[in-house]
Structure 1
Amino acid sequence: MDPLIIEPGKGIGTIELGMSRQEVEACIQEYTAKYRKPSYSKNYFEHVFMVKYDEDERVHFIEIPSSLKDFFTCSFRGMDVFNTKAEELVAKVDEISPYDRDDWEVGYMYMFPALGLSFWRPNIFKEEFLQEEWFLEMHPDIQEDEKKHLYFESVSIRK
């Protein structure tokens, strides 16, 4: 599986902060040509790379979802951000630069302001929940869905 490197202050993969719309479109066309699967929409990569532009029409925000792990190993400083448990990933990145402990979304979102890096998941789920009665009483399919929340669903960088 090819790497997709997350570099705060620079970019994610070939899409970089400061790029124009045309440059981003060219990157997305390259991803589509190389990685698109027949069962995916032809616009798949246009929708999975969430890119926001500033008033000068230059990239100032890039976000990717965990679904890209079907194509890439998405990594930050050698850590696979979508296959490393959220609590472990936060602890490791926190050693590099502290996350904003005052953010009201802590648990769901971890923002590392000095890096311009954020991780997000829709629900908080912890390893110890796996042994709790309320979890064990769930249908196995629902348990599997809940376990997904041990991991982050998106990562973003910003200027």
Structure 2
Amino acid sequence: MQTFDIRPTLGVGPIRFGMTRDDVRELIGPHDGDGDEEREWYLEDLAIDFNADGKVAFIELAGSENFRALLDGECLHELDADSAVAHVKKLASFDPNGPEPGYTYIFPKLQLSLWRPVVPDASQDPDDPTGRTFEAVGVGPVGYFVQNSG
């Protein structure tokens, strides 16, 4: 299993913001065949958004059996949601006024987001893992979340 370090504002693993599609494919192989002009999927759970110039503009990582993505030594997909937020908060604070409170946490200084589809509550079956961890970690270049918020 591959391990990628999340490098806030720079990229993930060998992928850097501003690289071309060809650069990405040379580093991690062909895309999965699913995608459009703006987004391509790699290694089943790694989505890369490209800007109009065909350069890496945003990277989104889902929990995966094909790779682990680490931020400061921790895989955010493997931590429970509260622990993941606490881990990232050691590096920077999140925007308390961000969209979808509880579902999405945006850390502007890091240009990093955490997302889950539901926020578990007392009525959720204790054996149901949905929402107990974050399903997506997003990483953007400097200014991404300022330009793309609200």
TM-score range normalised by the length of the shorter chain = 0.7 to 0.9
What is the aligned partner in structure 2 of residue 147 from structure 1?
Answer: 129
Secondary structure, aligned partner of 2:58: strand
User: For residues 42 and 62 of structure 1, what CA distance do their matches in structure 2 show?
Assistant: 17
RMSD over equivalenced CA pairs, Å? 2.4
Task: Specify which of 113, 118, 121 is matched with residue 113 of structure 2.
Answer: 118
5+ residue gaps, structure 1, are: 33-40
1:45 to 42, 45, 48: 42
The residue number in structure 2 matching 1:37 is none
Tell me the secondary structure at the aligned position of residue 9 of structure 2.
coil
| 8 Å Cα contact 2:77/2:133 also seen in 1 | yes
- CA separation in 2, counterparts of 1:101 and 1:63? 21
What residue number does 2:54 align with?
A: 57
What is the aligned partner in structure 1 of residue 21 from structure 2?
Answer: 21
Are 2:91 and 1:109 equivalent residues in the alignment? no
Q: Over residues 47-74 of structure 1, what are the superposed CA-to-partner deviations in whole Å (9 max), with x where a residue is unaligned?
A: 53211122332211011111x2x12232
Q: Deviation per CA, 1:112-145, whole angstroms, max 9, x where unpaired?
A: 01111111110112xxx5xx4x34xx5xxxx54x
Q: Which runs of 5+ in 2 are unaligned?
A: 35-40, 142-150
Q: What is the CA-CA distance between 1:79 and the residue it aligns to?
A: 1.2
Per the alignment, in what secondary structure is the counterpart of residue 54 of structure 2?
coil
Q: Which structure: greater strand fraction?
A: 2
Confirm whether residue 97 of structure 1 aligns to residue 92 of structure 2.
yes
Equivalent residue letter for 1:51: I
Q: Aligned partner of 1:113: which letter?
A: P
The 2-side partners of 1:2 and 1:56 are apart by 29
What is the identity percentage for the equivalent residue pairs of Structure 1 and Structure 2? Answer: 28
Supply the AA of the counterpart residue of 2:24: V
Q: How many residues are aligned here?
A: 135
* TM-score, normalised with respect to structure 2: 0.77
The structure 1 segments of at least 4 consecutive aligned residues displaced by more than 3 Å after TM superposition are 41-44
| Match in the other structure for 2:146 | none
Structure (1 or 2) with the larger CA radius of gyration: 1
